[in-house]
């Protein structure tokens, strides 16, 4: 069951045609007024600017202007249907498409965008590609400024799914020719679309007039977007404290350290037993070593469990329902015990190791484990793996 109004209304193609005709006639259908004209015009002509000169948000519609023609649109996806509606108010034309399957590798999205592009190019051809009006030096400076990780404004903010911003952040990169790519935006062949700067902080695709633009302040990028998803999705730079630029490599190292420690713990015991070389530690150092191994196993286990849950839920989206709540609350509880308790135990073990007569290698590894625990706790807190939130 999909919550209203996001996908709970179903309509046939014929009914959508009636809907489109009524809007193209500003609320009139077959000589009857079904929507006051001033309301229809308000829906079609009340823009909210997000990032000029990119497309703007209307009331219930958003702009998708192309080849110099005004286009207002609305699209959407459920688990089963994938649809798009485009109206050309000044040309009295509309096109609607709906697919009953996403297709392999999200093919429905590619097909519907290609259908729209080719429909407009055939029936409403434009003047050609916008010329480049930016010097190579300026393009290089702006490309360097734009490169980095960005957070999607359309995201789960307070639930465990917020961690998707860390797993798959939007990344802007610049190549040697100062062309920009946005990891989320692909061409029809599945490769990252390349953009060339045509005006200050305005880029267009190399082979079309679909644009990318950014809003800046005090020499920093505030937000950016691209025509295809503006204005309902904008991308903003991460705050440093939750930036994937340092958290992603830190998490890889931290998880690897905990996993390695947990996996090698029984291996080392077996080797010592076969070589008849028992562990000579006793007292506090022995407890510190034991507790650090237990904490590493708990931290690694909870992290891997979260990863499996999230990847499975993304593959089988039907899981994202109230039926998931018991498992989710269990994971939050395990996170509280694992990340908070595991980090406390690990920090004590690190302290105990450094204040004992252990060799420097043991002290160094205990420090690595202590820092690893802090990193994993920071990620759990920052990305809401401790939130106990069941709304997403």
Query: Alpha helices, DSSP H only, in the chain?
Result: 13-24, 37-45, 107-123, 136-146, 164-167, 244-275, 283-315, 325-335, 342-354, 360-382
Average pLDDT estimate for 74-94 = 92
pLDDT at 194 over 80: yes
pLDDT at 83 over 60: yes
Of 7-16, 126-135, 151-160, 360-369, the range with the lowest mean pLDDT is 7-16
Average pLDDT estimate for 363-384 = 98
Q: Which residue has the higher pLDDT, 314 or 384?
A: 384
pLDDT at 239 over 70: yes
Q: Which residue has the higher pLDDT, 240 or 7?
A: 240
* Average pLDDT across the chain, whole number: 94
How far is Cα 175 from Cα 377, in angstroms, rounded to an integer? 35
Span 170-180, pLDDT tens digits: 999 999 999 99
Q: Label the pairing between strands 32-33 and 192-199.
A: unpaired
- CB proximity list for 258: less than 8 A, separation 6 or greater: 296, 297, 299, 300, 303, 369, 372, 373, 376
Of 101-110, 136-145, 286-295, 312-321, the range with the lowest mean pLDDT is 312-321
pLDDT at 182 over 90: yes
pLDDT at 319 over 90: no
Span 279-295, pLDDT tens digits: 888 999 999 999 999 99
Q: Print burial letters for 13-42: b (CB count within 10 Å at least 16), e (below 16).
A: eeebeebbebbbbbbbeeeeeebeeeebee
The pLDDT confidence band at residue 7, using thresholds 50, 70 and 90, is: low
The pLDDT confidence band at residue 4, using thresholds 50, 70 and 90, is: low
- What pLDDT, on a 0 to 100 scale, did the predictor assign at position 2? 52
Average pLDDT estimate for 341-355 = 98
How far is Cα 168 from Cα 132, in angstroms, rounded to an integer? 32
Beta carbons within 10 angstroms of residue 88's beta carbon: 22
Quick one: CA torsion of 274, 277, 282, 287, rounded to 10 degrees? Answer: -40
Q: What own/partner pairs with CB < 8 Å and gap ≥ 24 does 68-71 have?
A: 68/124, 68/126, 68/127, 69/120, 69/124, 69/126, 71/120
How far is Cα 44 from Cα 77, in angstroms, rounded to an integer? 22
- What pLDDT, on a 0 to 100 scale, did the predictor assign at position 78? 81
How far is Cα 163 from Cα 124, in angstroms, rounded to an integer? 43
The answer to whether residues 152 and 131 touch, using CB atoms and an 8 Å cutoff, is: no
The pLDDT confidence band at residue 10, using thresholds 50, 70 and 90, is: confident
- What pLDDT, on a 0 to 100 scale, did the predictor assign at position 371? 98
Q: What does the chain come to in residues?
A: 392
- This prediction has a pTM of 0.89
- What pLDDT, on a 0 to 100 scale, did the predictor assign at position 1? 47
């Amino acid at each position: 069951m999909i919550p209203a109004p996001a996908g709970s209304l179903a309509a046939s193609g014929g009914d959508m045609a009636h809907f489109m005709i009524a809007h193209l006639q500003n609320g009139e259908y077959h000589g009857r007024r079904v929507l006051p004209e001033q309301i229809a015009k308000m829906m079609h002509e009340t823009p909210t600017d997000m990032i000029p000169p990119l497309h703007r948000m209307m009331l219930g519609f958003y702009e998708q202007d192309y080849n110099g023609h005004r286009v207002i649109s609305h699209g959407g996806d459920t688990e089963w249907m994938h649809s798009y509606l485009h109206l050309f108010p000044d040309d009295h034309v509309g096109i609607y498409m709906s697919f009953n399957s996403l297709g392999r590798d999200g093919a429905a999205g590619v097909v519907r965008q290609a259908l729209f592009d080719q429909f407009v190019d055939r029936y409403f051809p434009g003047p050609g590609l916008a010329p480049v009006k930016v010097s190579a030096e300026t393009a290089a400076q702006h490309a360097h400024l734009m490169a980095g990780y960005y957070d999607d404004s359309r995201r789960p903010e307070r639930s465990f799914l917020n961690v998707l911003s860390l797993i798959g952040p939007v990344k802007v990169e610049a190549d040697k020719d100062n062309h920009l790519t946005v990891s989320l935006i692909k061409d029809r062949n599945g490769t990252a679309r390349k953009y060339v700067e045509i005006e200050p902080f305005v880029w267009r695709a190399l082979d079309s007039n679909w644009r990318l633009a950014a809003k800046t302040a005090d020499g920093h990028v505030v937000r950016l977007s691209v025509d295809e998803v503006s204005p309902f999705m904008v991308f903003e730079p991460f705050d440093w404290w939750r930036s994937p630029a340092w958290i992603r490599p830190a998490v890889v190292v931290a998880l690897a350290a905990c996993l390695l420690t947990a996996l090698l713990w029984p291996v080392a015991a077996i080797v010592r037993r076969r070589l008849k070389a028992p562990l000579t530690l006793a007292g506090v150092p022995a407890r510190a070593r034991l507790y650090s191994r237990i904490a590493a196993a708990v931290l690694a286990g909870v992290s891997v469990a979260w990863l499996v849950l999230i990847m499975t839920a993304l593959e089988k989206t039907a899981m994202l329902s109230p039926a998931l709540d018991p498992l989710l609350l269990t994971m939050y509880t395990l996170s509280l015990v694992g990340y908070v308790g595991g980090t406390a135990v690990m920090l004590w073990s690190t302290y105990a190791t450094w204040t004992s007569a252990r060799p420097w290698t043991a002290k160094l590894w205990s420090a690595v484990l202590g820092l690893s625990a802090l990193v994993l706790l920071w990620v759990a807190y920052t990305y809401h793996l401790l939130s106990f939130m069941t709304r997403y």
